[in-house]
Amino acid sequence: MWNGPLEKIDEYRYMIPKTYKGIKGNLKMKVPAVIYANEKMIEAIKKDNAPEQAANVATLPGIVGKSLAMPDIHWGYGFPIGGVAATDANEGVISPGGVGFDINCGVRLVRTNLKMDDINGQIIKNLVDELFKNVPSGVGSKARIRLSMQQINEVLDMGAKWAIENGYGWDEDLEYLEENGHLESADSSLVSDKAKKRGKEQVGSLGAGNHFLEIQRVAEVFDEEAAKVYGIEKDQIVVMIHTGSRGCGHQICTDYLRVLEQATLKYNIQLPDRQLACAPVNSKEGESYLKAMASAANFAWTNRQLIVHWVRQSFENVLHENAHDLGMHIVYDVCHNIAKIEEHVVDGKKMKLVVHRKGATRAFGPSRKEMPLKYRKIGQPVLIPGDMGTASFLLKGTDASEETFGSTCHGAGRVMSRSEAKRRWNGREIAKMLERKGIYAHPASWTVMAEESPDAYKDVGNVVEVTHGAGISTKVAKMVPLGVVKG
């Protein structure tokens, strides 16, 4: 139980004041920390040490504004998961702990022209089984395409553009991905051979754990105007993909934690926790990490792009209709583990910042230009994946999100350990329970079904209510699963 000071700002915001000295009494916070939560949630948040971590982050050199924590905050390595921190790009630091191991873990939403009336249980089952066949999933899922080292370098440097140029997708797809699926700053020469080899084995695969591929039904529309612009309506069938940069990104993080650990000593940076290891953004180590991280982000966008290609093919195979005719356009693609160089206004001054989002999603409002032309009147689509038994959400970014450097929550967060879930439930029973709710699941293993049981997660609906209430992103639609492919 965390017992530090918390000042209630309003119904949705709690502040840890700058004067807080930390559990050990020697913390020097440079800025306050703000946690987005309601009264009920804040009690649950205090159960682990995540608020202390939000306070620790506030000590980073060059941090500006506030150290922020989203309502789905929970304990993470160094930075809390659900944490947002912006540092001055000229005088601040960059920290791999503020990004996480699964660099550019993210979510993509694909729409269709299909409505509930066009499908039935058997069609869903056929689609899920076909998806399971075409999209590698599960522990150590292997790539179905064999890339050379030269091609892996191209993937790392080019991102989703590589996939489109090689026939995996439509030209229009790139416009609907955050950063157009490509970070320019990437440099594959700063990525180890190990990371490339792990990437080579796993490119175009879902992986395991909380990653999923779901066929969903739009159950509710809250914001008709925004939904219309995004091409979403009630009872429509959509597909959601949740995965990241696989072993490639994990290896890049592992490699650079070692580098940054030494850099922390070299630049004499005092930290309350070893896992906040960081380096000045302008240092050789900091720049190298940013470029390698951008390469991992590019890998993840390619990964999701290959999966979209096979999703479209699977629908074509089962429904005997062309994916274009089925209207399978990408609504959007967001990353929720990343650090990006962005411009924001701090104390009335425009600044170049490194915005760390670890388990947090960019949620830009209409005043920002970094989104497809079509969406600029409404704001950027924000995709919040739930877990397999419950709902996922489509939100829109708002200009009010400037207070969080254009960021919002990312999902539900576990409330129970995987082993505890396995002890409590049997995977087949969970599949039956889902079936009764009209959800067909095809897991790579029954163990994952138990581990990923809906009851092992916080209710994503509560998380979204807080971001909606606080105004940093607002509800557009709620989707519920019909068919699930689990890693």
Catalytic entry in 182, 250, 356, 410:
410
Q: Estimate to the nearest angstrom the gap between the alpha carbon of 25 and the chain centroid.
A: 34
Tell me which residues in 112-141 interact with another protein (CB under 8 A). 138-140
Task: Classify the phi-psi angles of 368: left when phi > 0, otherwise alpha if psi is within -120 to 50, otherwise beta.
Answer: beta
Pick the closer one to another protein by CB: 385 or 397. Answer: 385
Tell me which residues in 198-227 interact with another protein (CB under 8 A). 198, 201-202, 207-209
Q: Does residue number 197 form part of the binding site for another protein (CB under 8 A)?
A: yes
**Least Cβ distance, residue 278 to another protein (angstroms):** 13
Pick the closer one to another protein by CB: 259 or 482. Answer: 259
Pick the closer one to another protein by CB: 104 or 236. Answer: 104
Given 38, 254, 283, 313, the residue binding another protein (CB under 8 A)? 254
> Pick from 95, 168, 140, 157: which is nearest to 246 by CA?
140
**Per-residue contact string for residues 142-181; x = within reach of another protein by CB under 8 A:** x---------------------------------------
For another protein (CB under 8 A), the number of binding residues is: 45
Q: Does residue number 419 form part of the binding site for another protein (CB under 8 A)?
A: yes
Pick the closer one to another protein by CB: 81 or 232. Answer: 81
Given 146, 274, 374, 432, the residue binding another protein (CB under 8 A)? 274
Q: Does residue number 470 form part of the binding site for another protein (CB under 8 A)?
A: no
**Per-residue contact string for residues 70-109; x = within reach of another protein by CB under 8 A:** ----xx-x---x------------------xxx-------
Given 448, 470, 477, 485, the residue binding another protein (CB under 8 A)? 448
Stretch that binds another protein, among 33-41, 170-178, 328-336, 416-424 (CB under 8 A): 416-424
Q: Is 182 a catalytic site residue?
A: no
Q: Which residues bind another protein (CB under 8 A)?
A: 48, 74-75, 77, 81, 100-102, 138-140, 142, 194, 197-198, 201-202, 207-209, 247, 250-251, 253-254, 257-258, 261-262, 274-275, 413-420, 444-445, 447-448, 451, 487
Q: Which residues are the active-site residues? A: 410
